[in-house]
Structure 1
Amino acid sequence: MQAEKQMVPGEHRKGKAGALLEILFVSAQLGLTSFGGPVAHLGYFHNEYIRRRRWMDERSYADLVALCQFLPGPASSQVGIGIGMVRAGWLGGIVAWLGFTLPSVLALVAFAFLLQGYDIADAGWIHGLKIVAVAIVAQAILGMGQKLTPDRERVGIAVIAAGVTLSWQTGYSQILTIAVAGIAGVWLYRHSSTENVTNLPIPIRRSSGIVCLALFGVLLIVLPFLRGTAEAGPLAIFDSFYRSGALVFGGGHVVLPLLEQEVVPAGWVSQAEFLAGYGATQAVPGPLFTFAAYLGAMTAGVPGAILATLAIFLPAFLLVAGALPFWNSLRRSPRMQGALTGINAAVVGILLAAWYDPLWTTAILAPLDFALVVILFVMLVFWKLPPWLVVVAGAAGGMVIGW
């Protein structure tokens, strides 16, 4: 059954243009305030898209996160693109990505031209933003854990996933953990009912999804061969950043060594410039993949920044668009639902592991840090204050602690 003819959520109330403007406003707000890396972004998304606006139910959001964890690429950006597509189709996905990504792209291009030689990694307000990320992820773990690990079996899967992730930190450990959790879920929940699964309208044709998946593979294979005809030109930049975005498993930080192998030996940037850009990336909100904007700007100015950004995010967009049309059918399968049940529990464990390392271990270094994270957590969970206000308070608190 084709889902593309169904009404997109929210479209009947506000119209297509109104829905797109709303997506742009909300995603841009997230792009300006979502500090802390991919794990923290999922917490911000959960709070804004699910808890506050209810654009998707909890189970569907958890399943979408699980799907994006399976796909190579920046999981948090893919979740945002998926929510935008569910909300308002192709343009919704593009607008959601643009709003979330553009603020950090602009900031990193500015860093490339203005702040290359400055060391800001130890600034007090940046340390405060790291503490904000600890509080945000703690809130996400609390909310998702209550719904996704309600019994002993799922708690066990989450604990094992956290232990494995902490003790075996490689680019593929999360993928293997998720796969094993899915197999365990098929066996443990093989008799579970799928009656309560929400059938989300996905306004993308299956044929379009197949085209996107095919295009993803074709570009991955063909671009390296075409690159030989223009080694120093735009095609070389596009190929390097496309392959880096297409081959990343296990989170955005894994892209850093891939990018270093592509840009430093080629002489596009020096090792010192690469590390300076990495430090700048930690200081801005939004997805870590926007580091490509800095590298592209250093390589070929503003056109290079645009080309590198589009190339590194294109695989993520193609994979989400290719997988979403088949999502409802997969989710309604008892075996697939059992697998997703196990995967969702493992995602909670992976979030818990990432909350400890690197977030807690790099942000909570002294008693005052612990006091600040408790205050920020209370502001989020008990006082129900908006995330942007918590971000401002965290940055201010970090500056005070740094004095």
Structure 2
Amino acid sequence: LAQSGVVHGLKVMAVAVVAQAVWGMAKSLCPDRLRGGIAIASALLVLTLSSAFSQILAILLGGIVGWRLLALPHLPTAEHRNYGVSRASGAFLLVLAGALLLALPALAAVSDSLLASAFSSFYQAGSLVFGGGHVVLPLLQASVVPPGWVSNDTFLAGYGAAQAVPGPLFTFAAFLGAAMPWPLGGWAGGILMLLAIFLPSILLLAGALPYWENLRQRDGIQRAMGGVNAAVVGVLGAALYDPVWTSAIHSRADFALALAAYGMLVVGKVSPVFVVALAAIAGALLGA
């Protein structure tokens, strides 16, 4: 009971962490009514359709609405910088990133291999993250929980515990890879899934560098990205309700613990390491 209580405490911790992320992202990425509306509509779309495709659709529609309707100030022209990557090399890396995004799901479909399917899912999640590392939560949850690779309890407990680990939140992928069944699992699974989720970022970043100054000057790109970022807030907000809230909050005590953890993170600025430990201990005591 104590062990299950610790897991439950970490799941409640995940509620506080995701709520903090949603609030912080909403303040910075949804500063006006249009982007707030995009976020709300995206959350409703994801909750209604309840599939991995709905998250991609919400982000795509958010980009289209932002491109057509959002009004943003034009950025001043920046001086040209040499990033050490030629346009030809950048184009190759961008094409490679896109080719892998299309080829990996096809390979997973024909091979019927857990390794191919998992690598493809994590690569797709890494390719579609906008606005912050917490956005990876709904993308990964939709990839690993429905097939039964990782239980929802393990997923949310690991996500809560990951807040105590320094470095980018993408390292949560290593935990999921290590928790997967054979032939993954352990160190090998953790390293492979870490590579899969970071690879698209590396390819896209290096590939876009030669074109970045031109891209950031295009008003259409700025407007579309504003819509995309607002949609991402909605996608994460939907994940806050389901599966995070629905899996963790079952009683008044759970709600009180989540509220206390949220207050310590947002108001008290307490170290996440301390809050994670406190949530685990409180969960163990409540489950004893």
Q: Which residues in structure 2 correspond to 1:231-246 (within 5 Å)?
A: 239=116, 241-246=118-123
Q: State the alpha-carbon separation in 2 of the partners of residues 372 and 256 from structure 1.
A: 27
> Unaligned stretches of 5+ in structure 1?
1-119, 261-270
Q: State the alpha-carbon separation in 2 of the partners of residues 152 and 223 from structure 1.
A: 37
Paired position in structure 2 for 1:194: 74
Q: State the alpha-carbon separation in 2 of the partners of residues 257 and 334 from structure 1.
A: 39
Contact 2:7 2:153 in 1 (8 A): no
Q: CA deviation at 1:164?
A: 0.9
TM-score (norm 2): 0.72
Q: CA deviation at 1:196?
A: 7.1
Q: AA paired with 2:74? A: T
The correspondence for 2:243, drawn from 336, 345, 358, is: 358
SS in 2 for 1:374: helix
Paired position in structure 2 for 1:367: 252
Q: State the alpha-carbon separation in 2 of the partners of residues 240 and 168 from structure 1.
A: 23
1:83-112 CA deviation, whole Å, 9 max, x = no partner?
xxxxxxxxxxxxxxxxxxxxxxxxxxxxxx
TM-score (norm 1): 0.54
Moved more, 125-134 or 300-309: 300-309
SS in 2 for 1:195: coil
> Do residues 167 (structure 1) and 48 (structure 2) align?
yes
- Larger relative contact order (CA 8 Å, sep ≥ 6): 2
Contact 1:245 1:312 in 2 (8 A): yes
Aligned residues: 260
- Give runs of ≥4 in structure 1 deviating > 6 Å: 196-202, 222-225, 300-303
SS in 2 for 1:176: helix
SS in 2 for 1:213: helix
> Do residues 254 (structure 1) and 118 (structure 2) align?
no
Contact 2:89 2:207 in 1 (8 A): no
Q: Which residues in structure 2 correspond to 1:202-221 (within 5 Å)?
A: 203=83, 205=85, 206-216=87-97, 217=99, 221=103
Contact 2:11 2:157 in 1 (8 A): no
1:179-211 CA deviation, whole Å, 9 max, x = no partner?
111111122225x31327999989562444333
Q: CA deviation at 1:256?
A: 2.6
Paired position in structure 1 for 2:262: 377
Pairwise CA RMSD: 3.9
Overall identity of the aligned pairs, in %: 32
The correspondence for 2:227, drawn from 342, 345, 348, is: 342
> Do residues 129 (structure 1) and 13 (structure 2) align?
no
Q: CA deviation at 1:332?
A: 2.6
> Unaligned stretches of 5+ in structure 2?
129-137, 163-170
Contact 1:220 1:246 in 2 (8 A): no
Q: State the alpha-carbon separation in 2 of the partners of residues 136 and 257 from structure 1.
A: 20
